[in-house]
Structure 1
């Protein structure tokens, strides 16, 4: 498990802040097809330490590489003081990503039999699903990831040239449910940047999209059909809580 001590954490976070106004530096740090990957040990560590309904993913630079650093929070939403910080290096995927979204349909069939057991009426209605709030429709996730891959550097160029990097994210706040396994067998979470339009701010904002991967514990060889794509992270800035500097 990749771990920073407190000093390494502070240096990495400060270095990313220093880079945010330098478009050329950002270009070298962020290939738009690279992702972060957190293993099950890092996820378990965060679950054991985090006492709030969200956690913080700090962005940093270490040894010339962009990193995402997991930071637990206490019950009051303050960053927990710890001596170790798990992190992931932004890096190229080792293989293809399989995204799965399952839609469940309810079919109601009605039949009426006469008293002499003859069918006198029959109809069938199909009710389409309503997505649960934690789940992101797969098409929306794909659109956000593709938008990042194609347009992220244009977004960074504008932020650097017009706003001197002041509006570029320093961290992301993520509901803790994103890293809690919905079933046994979680072995990694791949975290991709995305770009989505914000109705509130009327501009494109980055996000982090978490994609969970599970082992086939029963060796059934079957393809998992559970939706596994989430889109809950909030970039800071601009979406910073009142105590974000702590």
Structure 2
């Protein structure tokens, strides 16, 4: 697990802040097809140290590479001054990124027979599964990632030139409960940037899409779960503008 001490953490954040007005520097730091990887050790560290319903990931720059730094929050939602900060380097994918969403539907057919065994009514209903945690539909996740891939550079160009980098993300807040998904066998997370339009802010914002990877996506007996199975979640809120903590 790669770790910053307090001084290195502070320096990495300061370096990212100095880059926000420089479009050419950001272009070099953030290739649109690069992602972050989070290991089980890093996930476990957050679960052990975080005390709030969200945890924070700060953006930093280290050795001319963009890094995502994990930061726990206390019970009041404020950052905890810890002595070590695990981080992940933005890097190229080493294999195809598989987004999985499987749904199983139940069709209930009703038939009514009269006393003389004549059919008098016939109907059918399809019941859709209900997810037990927030899920992002696969097509929306793919659309957000593709929009980032195709237009992320344009987004940065506008933010750097028109707004001097003031609106570019410095952190993301992530619901901590989602680090403990109900499906067993979690092995790692892949985190990709995405672009989504916000109706509230009436502009396109950057999000981070966390894609969980499991040993398998089936039940222990090999059958598919009757609930929605997905490895795609949209968990993050960018700061700015969403810096309510």
TM-score, normalised via structure 1 length: 0.90
Gaps of 5+ in 2: none
| Structure 2 residue aligned with 1:230 | 233
Between the aligned partners of 1:46 and 1:218, the Cα distance in structure 2 is 27
Between the aligned partners of 1:94 and 1:176, the Cα distance in structure 2 is 27
| Structure 1 residue aligned with 2:43 | 43
Shift of 1:132: 6.2
Q: Give the alignment of 1:1-246 within 5 angstroms.
A: 1-115=1-115, 119-128=119-128, 134-216=134-216, 226-241=229-244, 243=245
Between the aligned partners of 1:222 and 1:97, the Cα distance in structure 2 is 23
TM-score, normalised via structure 2 length: 0.91
Gaps of 5+ in 1: none
Shift of 1:128: 4.2
Find the residue that maps to 1:35 and give its secondary structure: strand
How many residues align? The count is: 242
CA offsets 1:198-244 (integer angstroms, 9 cap, x no match):
11111110000000001149898888972121112111111112x5x
Between the aligned partners of 2:24 and 2:112, the Cα distance in structure 1 is 72
Is contact 1:178–1:210 with CA below 8 Å preserved after alignment?
A: no
Between the aligned partners of 1:31 and 1:84, the Cα distance in structure 2 is 28
Output the aligned Cα RMSD.
Answer: 2.3
Between the aligned partners of 2:24 and 2:156, the Cα distance in structure 1 is 10
When residues 157 and 191 of structure 1 are mapped into structure 2, their CA distance, relative to the original with a 3 A threshold, is same
